[in-house]
Amino acid sequence: MRHRISAVLLALPLVACGVEAPDAESTEHADAPRALGMTACSTPLANGVKETGISAEANAWSCTYTLEVPAGAGKLSFDMVRSASGRGSAFMYVRFGAEPTTTTSDCNPGRVSDANCTFLRPRAGTWYVKIGGFSSPASGLELTGAYTLGIPGDSVLANGVETARYLYKGGVWKCFTLDVPSGMRSVVFNERLTRTGWNVPPELYVRHGEQPTQAAHACKTYPDYGLGTCTLDNPAAGTWFACSYGDYDLEGVTVKGTYE
């Protein structure tokens, strides 16, 4: 399947206090907690330091957790796990610049006991994390926010070179970057499945300048017959992001970006 796109217009909702952040998700999982109240506390996270003993009451938020990310960070990740003594289920929501909600976030992986949100070249400033409970309380949760300076080498695409095969982990954004020079006629991104399986494969999302989300992207494609392709004419110069995202684990996925 080939998608040829020159421009994308994104329609984003307005709320009473202003305009939502332009890259925030506007979708939610069907089984996510709804109509949660305001959080009663705020806790700053230290880079790479685990916050333990987190709990969320039934149909309520945990504290709001914040992490200050400096300019020049190459990778940012948030990991929520449930300890061996933990109980109940919860969702993690992440957003830049403002507190997330169940309907507006930059990442909501939907994993109730082992959730990850990862961002390449994250924006500098305050990132917010909230954990929402279900109809019963959740306890024994642990949260870690960590950033590194510099882009990981295995996340940078070379023009026309396919990545090594990787195990895609369901519910996690697996992203790569490609720096495109000015004056190019097109840029093409391919997601290829080298192995077949019963699980539904991840879709490929592409965006210029920032990591894509389900709500904000320049191209989205499904790997029909083992290959998904996004072709963009007259691409803007700079960094393009190509990400795999889906609900299930799948081995043998590769990504390639080519400009000409």
Residue 235 is part of which domain span?
Answer: 151-259
Which amino acid makes up residue 250? L
Report the share of the chain in percent with pLDDT over 90.
59
Query: Could you tell me the CATH number of the domain that includes residue 156?
Result: 2.60.120.380
pLDDT tens-digit series, residues 177-195: 999 999 999 999 999 998 7
pLDDT tens-digit series, residues 33-70: 544 555 568 999 999 999 999 988 888 888 999 999 99
Most confident range (mean pLDDT) of 8-17, 79-88, 158-167 is: 158-167
Among 84, 135, 151, 136, smallest CA distance to 113 is for 84
- Calpha distance 47→79 (Å, rounded): 12
Q: First and final CA of the chain: distance in angstroms?
A: 20
Provide the mean pLDDT of the chain.
Answer: 84
Domain boundary among 120, 149, 178: 149
pLDDT greater than 60 at residue 103: yes
Q: Where are the alpha helices (DSSP H) in 22-176?
A: none
Q: Assess if residue 93 is contained within a domain.
A: yes
pLDDT greater than 50 at residue 10: no
Q: Are residues 125 and 42 in the same domain?
A: yes
Which amino acid makes up residue 19? V
pLDDT at 25: 52
Q: Are residues 41 and 130 in the same domain?
A: yes
pLDDT greater than 60 at residue 7: no
- Calpha distance 65→141 (Å, rounded): 13
pLDDT at 38: 52
Q: Which DSSP string do the residues of 55-90 spell out, in sequence order?
A: EE-TT-EEEEEEEEE-TTEEEEEEEEEEEEEEES-E
Are the beta carbons of 3 and 231 closer than 8 angstroms?
A: yes
Q: Assess if residue 7 is contained within a domain.
A: no
pLDDT at 57: 86
Domain boundary among 94, 124, 149: 149
Stretch among 2-11, 63-72, 80-89, 240-249 having the lowest mean pLDDT: 2-11
Q: Assess if residue 236 is contained within a domain.
A: yes
3-class DSSP assignment, residue 249: coil
Q: Are residues 109 and 194 in the same domain?
A: no
- Calpha distance 101→253 (Å, rounded): 32
Are the beta carbons of 247 and 149 closer than 8 angstroms?
A: no
Stretch among 13-22, 68-77, 167-176 having the lowest mean pLDDT: 13-22
Residue 139, CB-side half-sphere exposure with 13 Å CA sphere: 5
Structural domains of the chain, count = 2
- Residue 129 tokens read as 């994390």
Most confident range (mean pLDDT) of 47-56, 111-120, 130-139 is: 47-56
Domain boundary among 114, 149, 184: 149
Q: Are residues 107 and 191 in the same domain?
A: no
pLDDT at 31: 47
Q: Assess if residue 9 is contained within a domain.
A: no
